[in-house]
Structure formats: C-alpha cells, structure tokens
Amino acid sequence: MSGAVQTALAAPAGPGRRAVRDPLVAGLVGLCLAAAVGLLVAPPAPYLVNAVGQLAAFAILAVSLDLVWGYLGILSLGHGLFFAIGGYVCAMHLLAHGVAVTGVLPDFVQFMGWKSLPAYWAGLDNAAYAFVLALALAGLVAFVFGLASFRSRVNGVYFSIISQALVYVAMLLMYRNDTGLGGNNGMTGFPLLFGWPMGSPGVVTGLAVAALLTLAAVLAGARLLVGSAIGRRMLACRDDETRLRTLGYSTTRLKLGIWCLSAMIAALAGILYVPQVGIINPRVLAPDLSIEIAVWVAIGGLGRLGGAVIGAILVNGLKFWLSAAMPEAWPFILSGLVLVVVLVLPNGLLDLVGWRPRPTWLRGAR
Amino acid sequence: MADRLRALLALCCLALLTFPASAAPIDRAAFAAGLCGDGAAQVRAAEGLVQAGGDLAADDLAYAGGLLGALAERRLACPAEGALLLDRPGASDGRDAVSGAPRPAAEARAPVLGLRQRAAVETARGTVALLTGPDPAARSAGLAVLERRIATVPASVLDRARDAETDATLKATIAGLAQAAALSSPDPARRRAAIAAVAASPSGAAEARLAALKSDPAYASDPAFRAALDAGLAKVTRAVAIGDGLAVVYNGLSFASILFMAAAGLAIIFGLMGVINLAQGEFIMLGAYATYGVQEAFRRLAPGLLDLYLLAAIPVAFGAVALVGIGVEALILRHLYRRPLMSLLATWAVSLFLVNLVRVTVGTQNLQFVMPAYVSGGVPLYADFVMTWNRLFAIGFAAATLVLTLLILRRTPLGLDIRAVTQNRDMAACLGLPTRRVDRLAFGLGSGLAGLAGVALCPIYSVNPGMGSGFIVDSFMVVVLGGVGSLVGTLVAAVGVGGANVLIEPISGAVAAKVIVLVGIILFLQRRPEGLFAVRRRR
C-alpha cells in the first residue's frame, strides 16, 4: 500500500505525455469527432442520429461518475440528481423560451391554474443564464452535500447509501405538483430550441453533434486532469486517504473539488440529454437509474475513462435494442451482466480484450 | 312549511303526553279504523303508532306492522265496518283485521295512499321494522327509513331499539341517531343532557357535531345552553387531541417496528462484512410471498386451520429467505469480500433479478391475504384512537424478533463467533474461527430477519413484487444512524426515524418528513460519523 502511494505521487506526470499514452481515450475522442463530422456530412435516419446523441450524453454521465469512483474511490449512487438538475434547468429554459416566443403557457402551469410561470423562472429564457444556472446549481448542491460528508469523513459504503437517499428524497420532492416543475408528469412539449422548431432534422443533428463534441471535450479534459499532478493525488487519496492526509495534503478539499466538478459534468450531460428526448420527469431521479450509471462504469471498466464511455454506450445500446425487442428479458440480462462482470471480470469488459495496464493499487475504488 | 313543522312538533308533544310510559296496549280496532279512515285519520293513526312505539308490546307492534304493510301494498280492504286483510291486491276474500275471521271482501274499498299519508305510513313501518325486525338487515332498513324523518321519531323508540339491539355496528348507528335527535330536541334540558352525553364519549365526529351547534340560535340566546356546549366542546377537543396523540405514537411505533425488522438484518451483515445488502427489500418481499405460499398450502390441505397460517409462516419465511441469503452469499458475495462497493452493485443485480423473477412467475398484482381474526379489526381505546390488531401484531413481532436476535447474538456460540469476527476479523481467524462460515451463517440470519419482516408486513401493506423498494432507503438510513453492527443502535435509530416520520408527516406532509429526516441524519453524522452506537473495534 505505502509503496503504491509513494510511486503514484512520485511518478513523473507530464500531463501531455500521459494523455497521449492512453490510446483508448485518444481513439474515443477521435471517434467522437469523426462521428460528429459524419453526422454533419451524411446524416442517417433521424432516430439513429437521436440515439447517437443520447448515447453520447450517457457517456458524459458515465465519465463524470468514473472521475469520482474510479479515480477517487467515492461511489455515488445519487449521480442522477446532478443529471436531473441539468435536465430540469434545461427543460425550464426550453419552456420559458417557448413562452417568450409563442406566448402559450405550458400544460402543467395551466393545470395548476396559474396565470404565469412561477417567479423563480424569471430570466430562464436566456440560454446563457440557464446554462450557468444549471452548472452552478449542480455545483452548489454537490458542494453542500460533499462538504457535509467529506468533512465528517463519511466515505465508502456509508457515502454511497446516503447519496442514494439524497436522490430518493429529491425524487419524492419532484413528484409533488406544487414545486412548479411539472410534478409527476414532468415537463414536456418543448416547442423551440434557439428559435428553431424542436424535432426538425437540423435540430436533431445539431444536438447529437453538440453531444458528441462535448463528450470529446469532456474525455480529453478528464484525461488531462487524471494525468496531472492533481490526478496523482486523486489516485493516492483513493488508495490510502489517511496516509495522504498525513503527508500534509488536504484530502477534503481535493475530494470536494473533484466531486463538484463531477456533478457539473453530470449536469452538462443532463442539459444535452433533455432536448434530445423531449421530456424530463421525476423518474430520472429514481435510485435505480443512479445505480445503473455505476453499472455502466463497472461493466465498461472502472478507473479507465475509456471504459466508462464504452460501458455507457454498450449497456444503453443493448437497452435501446433489447427493451424494445424483449422487454421481459432485459432486466435478467442486465442483472446477469452485472454479476458476471463483478465476479469474473473485475476490471470490466476491457478484461475481455486483454486490456490490462492494470495498476495493482485499485483496491480503494471497490 | 314552518307552520306544518310546528304543528307536527306539537302533535309529537301531545302524543308523548297521551301515552304513558308503561307498556300500554293499543286499541286495535280503532287503529284499523284509523287506517281505513280519510287521509287525516290515516296520518293520525300512523303517527300515533310512531309516538307510542317505544312503549308498545311486541305483538301489538307486529299487528300494526301487518296492517301498515297491507295498506302500503293495497292489501287492506275497508268495508263499511272494520278492516280486512287480503292475501293479494284485489282478492275477493280476506280475514278480519282484528279477529282474524274470514270475511268476503266484496264491496270493500281498498284505500290508496296520498303523498303525505305514504310518508307517515312509511315512518310507522320503519318504526315497527326497527323494533321487531327479525335480523339486523331488516332493522337497519327500518332505521334507514326513520333517518329521513328523524325529527318526528320520539327518543323512546330509538332508546328501546338501541337497548334491544344485538348487532354492534347497528347499535352504534342507532345510538348516534338518537344523540343527533336529542341534540336538536326543542326541550332545552334534554338538549343539555344530550350535549353532556355526546361529550362523555369523545370522538372527531362528536367534536364536529358539537361545533356545528355553535351556529344554533340557542347558543346566542340561552346562556345555560352556551355554557353546556362550551364545556362539552372543550372536553371533547381535549380528549380528541389526546387520542390523536396516542394514535401518532402508536403508528410511529408500528412503523418503527417494521423499520427495525428491515434494518436489523442489514445492520448485522454490515457490521460483520461491511456489505450493504441492496437486495434486503427484495428479501422482505420474498418473506411476504413465502407467507402467501403458506396461506395457499393451508387453503388446499387444511382449510379448517387457515387462520393459523400467519403463525405457521413465521418459521417457513425465516427458513426460506435465510436459504436464499446463504445461496447469495455462497455464490456471489463470498467473492466480493474486501470489495464492498462492488458488492453494492452485485446485491443490486440480485434485487433486480428477484423482482423480475417474481414478476414473471407470480405476476405483478397485489396478493390477496385472508386476515385471521387476530390481525383484523381493533379495539377503540380512547377518543378516535383505535388500537388495530394488525399493527399490534407488527409491534409484538418486532419485540419478539429483537429479544430472539439479542439472545442469539449474546447467548449462543454462533452469536459469540459473529461478535468476535465483527470486532476483529483477523484476530478471530488467527484464533481458529472459521470466519467464512460465520459470514455465511450471519448472512443467513440477516436475510431470515428480512423474511420475518415480510411476514409482519402482510397484514399491513400491499404485497407485490415492487414492495421492497418502498422502505429500503429508510432502513438504510436507520443503519447509518444506528451505527455499525449494534442491534441496540438499530433499535434506537428505527424508533427515532419512524417516530420523526410519523410526527412530522401530519404537520408538513410525507415528503417534507423524509427530507427533514435525511437532513437531520446528515447533520447528525457531522457530530458522530460512526452513528449512534458504534461498536468499538480492535484493529
């Protein structure tokens, strides 16, 4: 253990070199860019474009969880909360934008018998403000919750189930109709995106391309981060937090910073996801969905950014296909997949292809 | 309208004076003649019967009832003298109403009831049915008729019906009606007495009834009435508040019992192996389904003993779910030792598998349980507070589980092993304890406890494949709050979380209760990250 931490901290960490030395991430970034260009040049059927865009959003979400779980040893079973924050703020922007252009109030506002949007919706028709608000809100919630948890050294399984309770409570909250956020029906029927009609081929392609480009940027950025000095500290913290603290590093500040960053990336995924599916409702806050994010990461390969992306795309691709083809069988397949991966392929499916640049010191993340 | 009402009331008072309290026989011939008379005479006869009803002998009532029924069904024929009962409308022969002797019905007139007469006759028939009806259904039908014109029914009729009534619910209904009638009685003394009587058995309904009287004109004009009402209302309000408080405590206790049973197994497993079993909710669901299986087996094999199935299900559910748990440990968790975060995912996969397995094999509908006598109904204790047997069953069950589990942990070799491995796994292994076997048995014990929770839930909650997810988050919070591996901590935390939920819920809603409890737990962990009662570990 001690040797591992010291090696981790002492290893030369030229960020650029390490980024290049991860061909999987480099390949995936390249693939994203190529796919984005491909979609622009020769767009396939809109539903396929839409599927690609959704998968990219899920992949971003998976990367955000892998950052804290794979590299920091913090398993969040409540990442759906940050995804939902991004999604909800994005939906609010789309509706407010629609009201500003068309003047028609959304269904749920009429349903509640209100004459206008609630006061806290003010200014949300401005896209830039909504974007900043979504990220800031996710960061703030993550900061408060993270500060409370990390300061009192709540970690491991404890942290996981408390984060699960957090997302569960948020779900109960959003199921209420008087929150002004659509209640159990959620928000849907977005008319416009930046003035263009929702669902037109151009908008669909644009959203998918935006998601792909964001994924590429997030992947590259995350790779730079974990390859940097901070990344070395993250690994050290994951493998022996007490020792790192004894060495004089503030692990609370480190964990808090990465945790908030991860939450904001998850919110970004939510922002990209909602306009593509055209709806947001409290079901994205179901604890099961948050666990599924961890499942993507575990299946793809924990502690490998590329693994998270592959896992998210693989599981969700399978889910798109199988939950339509054989809805009864899908839960069995998913649970079987999880058990096989957890028991037989502890490093995820990357084990299958013999991808084993596996450091011996991943213990803290399990 | 008001005039007529006043006349009616005067008539009532008159009738009350005319008929003394002793069981006086009615003049049968005069009654028959009245029914055969003109409209006013018919009404007089019918209303006279209602007023006298409380004091009449049963055979008189039966006689009058027969005549009234015949009149309503047009089987009463009126010759020049006396009255005839026919077997069917329009028959040529009948029997004399008073003597019963056969008489020809030729030339006899069959009176047709006008609207007002019909109402009076119906009321009189209702009175007879209420007082002499052979079964509760007939009596309650009579009561339903009287209810519509309760102001014209004298207290003596209702009092007599209430005293003679054998059916408990019907008796309560009659008593309520009698009270309502007395509360709106024109006699101030009687009203005050009725207010005192209502206040003597406090309930939410009584409170509403008394509060409604505040808008009565007498409240402003009659100081004695006002004093009586204010005193009665204050008494009822206080009693209802106490009763509601008791109900909250009782519900909190029963919720806490369920939480405790769901969390006890979790806490033992978590303390021992550092594994949170996300499938614990599904183990509870399996326990409930095992109970259902036992019920069906009883239905097939021993229908006479069906009431005992809930007791027989206790060992079955424990054993079956413990076996499932041991299987899960042996097949899966054994390999995830020292990888607690992965074991979260693995147990989640198990829960997903179990939910869908049950969904596919049994179906998604709620299971129907036969409720044995010992878990249905309850006993009203104070004001609105009813101690329901099903919740008492859960509370008693949880208490028994607590005692048994404590005995196992404190007094058996297995318990000693579990405590040793919980405190220091490596040292226990060095001393030769088979730690893996202890793990497995403890996992079986923890799963079995979840199965028991499933049994206790059957009489209270609806049982379906998704039931496990409902309170699993709450039981996690109990484990986190209670501290690792401490059964007493789990108990205290369960009572705290359950009580807080039930206490906050009526004030600010179920969701706010959950939010406040979660925030409270997070804040609490700032002070004591190890939970309420952390077991001291030796490292």
Share of chain B above pLDDT 70, in %: 94
How many residues does the structure list for chain B? 539
Are A271 and A89 in contact, with CB atoms under 8 Å apart? yes
Chain A interface, best mutation among B278, B338, B352, by max A CB count within 10 A: B352
**Cα(A264)–Cα(A260) distance, integer angstroms:** 6
For every residue of B324-386, DSSP letters joined together read HHHHHHHHTGGGGTT-HHHHHHHHHHHHHHHHHHHHHHT-SSPPP----GGGSSEEEEETTEE
> What one-letter code names the amino acid at A128?
A
**pLDDT classification of B269: cutoffs 50, 70, 90:** confident
| Residue B525: closest C-alpha in chain A | A152
CB under 8 Å to B86, separation ≥6 — which residues?
Answer: B70, B75, B76, B77, B93, B94, B105, B110
**Cα(B390)–Cα(B375) distance, integer angstroms:** 4
The predicted model scores a pTM of 0.76
**Per-residue CA distances from B305 to B60, B302, B320, B457 (Å):** 47, 6, 22, 21
pLDDT above 90 (res B319): yes
**What average pLDDT does the segment B86-101 reach?**
79
Are B40 and B114 in contact, with CB atoms under 8 Å apart? no
Give chain A's domain count: 1
Burial level of A179, CB count in 10 A (0-12/13-18/19+)? middle
Does A166 contact B518 at a Cβ distance shorter than 8 Å?
yes
Report pLDDT digits (tens) over B491-507.
Answer: 888 988 888 888 887 77
Does A75 contact B344 at a Cβ distance shorter than 8 Å?
yes
A162 and chain B: CB distance < 8 Å anywhere?
yes
Of A145, A156, A176, the CB nearest to B340: A156
User: Which residue's structure tokens are 């076996």?
Assistant: B323
Paired tokens of A13: 């960490």
How many CA atoms are closer than 13 Å to the CA of B82, on its beta-carbon side? 14
Paired tokens of A102: 């068309």
Are A8 and A222 in contact, with CB atoms under 8 Å apart? no
Name the more confident of B478 and B3.
B478
**Cα(A254)–Cα(A252) distance, integer angstroms:** 5
Report pLDDT digits (tens) over B140-173.
Answer: 888 888 877 777 777 788 888 888 888 888 888 8
For every residue of B402-438, DSSP letters joined together read HHHHHHHHHHSHHHHHHHHHHH-HHHHHHTT--HHHH
Distance from CA of A161 to the nearest CA of B (A): 7
Does A343 contact B356 at a Cβ distance shorter than 8 Å?
no
- CATH 1.10.3470: does it fit domain B242-527? yes
CATH, residue A198: 1.10.3470
- Structural domain boundaries enclosing A84: 2-365
**pLDDT classification of B204: cutoffs 50, 70, 90:** confident
Of B335, B480, B515, the CB nearest to A158: B480
Residue numbers in A near B344 (CB within 8 A): 75, 77, 157, 160, 291, 294
A145 and chain B: CB distance < 8 Å anywhere?
yes
Q: Phi, psi (5° rounding) for residue B385?
A: -80, 115
- pLDDT score of B293: 92
**Cα(B188)–Cα(B190) distance, integer angstroms:** 5
Does A173 contact B335 at a Cβ distance shorter than 8 Å?
no
**Cα(B135)–Cα(A328) distance, integer angstroms:** 54
A167 and chain B: CB distance < 8 Å anywhere?
no
Paired tokens of A188: 């849907």
Residue ranges of the alpha helices (H) in A45-126?
46-69, 79-102, 107-111
Residue numbers in B near A158 (CB within 8 A): 480, 529
Closest CA to A161 of A266, A287, A296: A287
- pLDDT score of A136: 95
Distance from CA of A152 to the nearest CA of B (A): 5
**Cα(A151)–Cα(A156) distance, integer angstroms:** 14
- pLDDT score of A58: 94
**Per-residue CA distances from B335 to A360, B99, B277, B326 (Å):** 18, 96, 15, 13
User: Which residue's structure tokens are 């913090």?
Assistant: A74
Are A265 and A37 in contact, with CB atoms under 8 Å apart? no
Alpha-carbon dihedral sign for residues B122, B124, B126, B129? negative
**Cα(B231)–Cα(B533) distance, integer angstroms:** 49
Does A335 contact B350 at a Cβ distance shorter than 8 Å?
yes
A198 sits in the region (left: phi over 0; alpha: psi -120 to 50; else beta) called beta
Does A173 contact B341 at a Cβ distance shorter than 8 Å?
no
**pLDDT classification of B320: cutoffs 50, 70, 90:** very high
CB under 8 Å to B23, separation ≥6 — which residues?
Answer: B55, B56, B57
**What average pLDDT does the segment B373-382 reach?**
76
**DSSP state, B19?**
S
ipTM: 0.87
**What average pLDDT does the segment B49-75 reach?**
83
Beta strands B76-77 and B84-86 are antiparallel
Neighbours of A50 (CB within 10 A): 18
Are B119 and B149 in contact, with CB atoms under 8 Å apart? yes
How many CA atoms are closer than 13 Å to the CA of A223, on its beta-carbon side? 26
Domain ranges of chain B: 2-184, 242-527
Residue numbers in B near A69 (CB within 8 A): 341
Name the more confident of B276 and A265.
A265
CB under 8 Å to B7, separation ≥6 — which residues?
Answer: none
Of B335, B344, B527, the CB nearest to A160: B344
CA-based Rg of chain B, rounded to a whole angstrom?
34
Average pLDDT across chain A, whole number: 83
A41 and chain B: CB distance < 8 Å anywhere?
no
Task: Return the ∠ at Cα A168 (arms to A163 and A174), rounded to 5°.
Answer: 125
| Residue A335: closest C-alpha in chain B | B349
Residue numbers in B near A175 (CB within 8 A): 511
Residue numbers in A near B527 (CB within 8 A): 152
The per-residue pLDDT string of chain A (366 residues; one tens digit each, 9 = 90 and over) reads: 344 444 445 444 444 444 446 788 888 888 988 888 888 888 788 888 888 899 999 999 999 999 999 888 889 999 999 999 999 999 989 888 888 888 778 777 777 777 777 778 877 888 899 999 999 999 999 999 999 888 888 878 888 888 988 898 888 888 887 777 877 888 888 877 887 888 788 888 889 999 999 999 999 999 989 888 898 889 888 888 889 889 988 889 999 999 999 999 999 999 999 999 888 888 899 888 999 999 999 888 888 888 899 999 999 999 888 888 888 888 899 999 899 888 888 777 777 776 554 444 444 455
Name the more confident of B106 and B334.
B334
**Per-residue CA distances from B116 to A282, B4, B42 (Å):** 61, 12, 10
**Cα(B525)–Cα(B539) distance, integer angstroms:** 22
